[in-house]
Amino acid sequence: MEKPNTTYIDQLSGANYEFRDKLIAILKRELPEEISAYQMKIESGDFQSAAQIVHKLKHKISILGLEKSYYLAENYEDNLVQNSKILQPEFEIILKSMQEFVSCL
């Protein structure tokens, strides 16, 4: 399984460490909120709203350099729109990996 990284954040911020820190702070704040909202929607069976949150999470997946995971998230989003949770376990492994990585930044 691929591992989250800050390569894209580092490239985007260049040598501007203040900007890099702001990006990381946004990730640290928004990621847990979005994951929590996603879990609430899944638990309540609101797959359409969950799909919208997965769409937002895809951007963070991409920012953390998880290219293969992005495609899985894209497929999972489509599945949720079709009221299917078939990729849920794999997607939630990605979320856990991201959350652990971001909490250590």
pLDDT digits (tens, 9 = 90+) for 46-63: 999 999 999 999 999 999
pTM value? 0.92
Confidence of residue 15 (pLDDT cuts 50, 70, 90): confident
Confidence of residue 1 (pLDDT cuts 50, 70, 90): confident
Give domain 7-103's CATH architecture. Up-down Bundle (1.20)
For the chain, give every domain's residue range.
Answer: 7-103
Q: Which amino acid is at 85?
A: K
Q: Mean pLDDT, the chain, as a whole number?
A: 96
**Measured distance CA(95)–CA(21) in Å, rounded:** 21
The residue with tokens 């309540």 is: 44
Nearest residue to 35 via CA among 48, 63, 27, 16:
27
